Structure 1
Amino acid sequence: MTNDHKGKRGCVSVNKSASRNECVNVPTPGLLPSANLPVTLADITITDHLVADIHFPDPVLEIKDIKKRVKIVQCRLLLGPTSDPDTGIPLFIKGFIRKNIQYATPCPHAKSDCVSSEMRSLTVDVPFECVTVVTDFLTDPILPTSNTREEFDFFRAQSLGHGYPEKDQMLSSDLSQFHQVSTQFYNQIPFCELVSSSIVQWDEAVDRYPLPNNGPFEEGTFHNIVEKTFLQFRVRVYQNQQIALNGNG
């Protein structure tokens, strides 16, 4: 079968594949009854500190409530063939704190005795990113096995052509041929689970001004706040591993 299309030859031309009854299988030696299960590598609590400048599209009289949710978009144990769990393995964390800020914005024409306001909300994502080194493993991770690739050549004697004695030859390998043995291993990559999170935050207005039009003297509005956040969250790191089953299953 070829990849010819409308008379044009494709990039690759292949023969018809072997039928299924020509495939041969042999069992992998030395294996015991087992199950491929997620094993807990580590259960850790991570701490980070954030400072964010948040701008409101409307003048803010006061903040009524802030609903928060931690979102982890990447949690990757940087495991390599030479990693050593005893000396620690880096864990890369990247995510956001989703904040829905409910606030009151004053209506126009505030008077001296009262202030009418409307309720609005602003949703923002405050990003964070950090690397922590995991040293306390409940179960050691299975390190990835490296792929291998080896090339080899065959000797070939070729005529030197016009201008050289007929008995002389060029002794080398054949540049028109390429030979290689390669092996690929499809290792199990560790993955994470977010268990819980805790957030302590301070929000401070940095541009608060009194209300215009003779509003109450203690009232004012602002557009910008600086938010300082102390973030803690707990994650579990897993890896699928082959677990041997005993005689009782």
Structure 2
Amino acid sequence: MNHDPHCVDVNVTASVGECENVTVDPILTNAGPRIVRVPVTLAEIKVRSNLVADIHFPDPVLEIKDIKKRVKVVQCRLLLPGVPAGTDPFSAAVYPDLRLFLKGFVRKNIQYATPCPHSSEYCVSSEIRSLTVDVPFECVTTITAAEFISRPQLPFNNSRSEFDFFRAQELGHGYPEKDQLLSSDLSQFHQVSTQYYNQIPYCELLSSSIIEWDEATDRVPLPNHKPFEEGTFRTLKEKMFLEFTLKVLQNQQVNVTAL
């Protein structure tokens, strides 16, 4: 009896057959006004920042061959103030401008040539290696009232209210029998609390652009009379102008009309 645990062999062929499809009628709601919750674009902004960093290589670098860059945003938080329940959460009268906190990295993959030990004075043999580093950035930018495409829905404040009940108590020894202590009961505690679970804004990264200037700060000539114009370094001073475009969104309820 064959006890092969792989009862289905899927590695038979590399070709993919064509599948047929037919259209179906989607299930739609009845026509008329509806309220839907959808991501609403609050603002689209272009953020600019300047970065300076020293990059240290584990090997002597003969020259930089290529640098690939990728922007990574790890925090994008629109700071919203709370408003009392029952007020207009879209009002811009009290807080027309809001702050957006940003934090992230520029991932850089640097491909470089490092010389081999058997180079001669006429030629330099080298190996291609790479170094991947994250250059961090952190900043706060202001989104003015005029920059908002749609106003964010401000969060409602939670509330807590205490209440007591009247209680008449005997005063005890040393007081007239007809006198009583009129107050609330300290042995009891009563409270009404309300929590609101508001929708928090979030971001999407649309595009990025980087202008950089990299130069060595510790370049030295090659030893043993190698080609006089060649040299190596281990430290790179980097200056970057970073620009990226963000979309700020929030899930909100919107009136729509179904056709």
- State the partner residue of 1:130: 139
In the superposition, relative to structure 1, how do residues 214 and 177 fare at CA in structure 2: closer, same or farther (>3 Å)? same
TM-aligned CA deviation for residue 93 of structure 1: 0.7
- Which position in structure 2 is the counterpart of 1:176? 187
Q: Secondary structure at the match of 2:199?
A: coil
Match 2:203 to one of 179, 192, 200:
192
2:122 is aligned to: 113
What amino acid maps onto 1:58 in structure 2?
Answer: D
Q: Which amino acid aligns with 1:123?
A: T
Specify the SS of the correspondent of 1:212.
coil
Distance in 1 between residues matched to 2:200 and 2:244, nearest whole Å: 22
Give every structure 1 segment of 4 or more consecutive aligned residues whose post-TM-superposition deviation is greater than 4 Å: none
Percent of aligned pairs with the same amino acid: 69
Structure 2 CA distance for aligned equivalents of residues 66 and 100 of structure 1: 6
Query: Displacement of 1:165 after TM fit?
Result: 3.9
Question: Aligned residue for 1:48?
Answer: 49
1:92 paired residue among 74, 96, 101: 101
Matches within 5 A, 1:24-63: 33-63=34-64
Structure 2: gaps spanning 5 or more residues: 1-32, 84-90
Q: Does 1:81 align with 2:82?
A: yes
Q: 1:237 Cα shift?
A: 0.5
| Amino acid in structure 1 at the alignment position of 2:38 | L
* Matched residue type, 2:64: I
1: CA distance, partners of 2:173 / 2:123: 107
| 1:221 corresponds to 2:232 | yes
Residue of structure 1 in register with 2:9 after alignment: none
Aligned to 1:144: 155
1:11 matched to which residue of 2?
none
User: How far apart, in 2, do the equivalents of 1:163 and 1:224 lie?
Assistant: 88
What are structure 1's unaligned runs of at least 5 residues?
Answer: 1-31
**Aligned partners of 1:66 and 1:128: how far apart in 2?**
19
Q: Which residue of 2 aligns with 1:8?
A: none
| Most deviating of 59-68 and 165-174 | 165-174
Q: CA deviation at 1:163?
A: 4.2
Q: Secondary structure at the match of 2:254?
A: strand
1:162 deviates by 3.8
In structure 2, C-alpha distance between the alignment counterparts of 1:48 and 1:159, rounded to whole Å? 72
The residue type paired with residue 63 of structure 1 is I
Counterpart in the other structure of 1:205: 216
Alpha-carbon RMSD across the aligned residues, in angstroms, is 1.6
Q: Deviations over 1:66-109 (max 9, x none)?
A: 11000000111111125848731111110000001110111114
Size of the aligned set, in residue pairs, is 217
1:214 Cα deviation after fit = 1.2
Structure 2 CA distance, aligned partners of 1:111 and 1:169?
Answer: 108
1:186 is displaced (CA, Å) by: 0.9
Deviations 1:167-205 (A, max 9, x none): 333222111111111111111111100000000101110
Q: Distance in 2 between matches of 1:33 and 1:184?
A: 27
Which amino acid letter does the alignment assign opposite residue 76 of structure 2? C
